[in-house]
Amino acid sequence: MALRTIREMGDPVLEKKAKVIKEVTPRIRTLAEDMLETMYETGGVGLAAPQVGILKRIVVIDVTEEQNEPLTMINPEIIEQDGEQTGYEGCLSVPGKVGEVTRPNRVVVRYNDLDMNEWELEAEEFLARAVCHELDHLDGHLYVEKVNGELRDASELQAVEDEEAGEEAEAGAGEEAGEASDAAEEKEQTQE
Ligand SMILES: [Zn+2]
């Protein structure tokens, strides 16, 4: 396995449509392994092949904190979607920035694994957001096209959230546990 270089916004490869994979060659397997390694190394929760300069329809995702549930999706396609969620997203190809994006709250994605077996995965909330974000990359789209308002500096947002979390902690005993977990949820940001 090897780390791959992540392409950044402005690189034309990020604006192109990736090609369908017809056969999983050893080269594709290596690509999948390298993408996972690169994603984990950079602290991302998802990575699409165009982000490492390869125009093929493959993405890797792992939204677990333990980084122990890797998903590798070949030729993924959203076949159902509903609901709505709005939250902050970041992208490994847009370093240091975040923006608020509205996405479906639930999607069903059909994809092939590395043995070309077909699967359908129902994803909600954070995972649904990650799936939508990664699939957009395969069609040459970045989340920055969909941001409500303006892109912000990730460090600036973190400072605001820390402040809010501090205020909530001071707010008193009542619903302490509930508030703390809400704050934790709001802190979830994607770097995809
Ligand atoms: Zn991304």
Q: Tell me, what DSSP letter sits at residue 54? A: -
Report field, pTM of the whole predicted structure over 0.75: yes
At the second CATH level, the architecture of 12-191 is Alpha-Beta Complex (3.90)
User: 25 C-alpha vs ligand 1 centroid, how far in Å?
Assistant: 25
pLDDT tens digit at each of 192 positions of the chain: 799 999 999 999 999 999 999 999 999 999 999 999 999 999 999 999 999 999 999 999 999 999 999 999 999 999 999 999 999 999 999 999 999 999 999 999 999 999 999 999 999 999 999 999 999 999 999 999 999 999 999 988 778 778 888 877 776 554 444 444 444 444 455 677
- Whole-Å CA distances, 140 to 78, 123, 134, 174, 185: 16, 22, 10, 47, 29
User: Using CA atoms, how far apart are residues 190 and 36, in angstroms rounded to an integer?
Assistant: 16
User: 90 C-alpha vs ligand 1 centroid, how far in Å?
Assistant: 7
Tell me the catalytic residues: 134
User: 160 C-alpha vs ligand 1 centroid, how far in Å?
Assistant: 23
Q: Tell me, what DSSP letter sits at residue 139? A: T
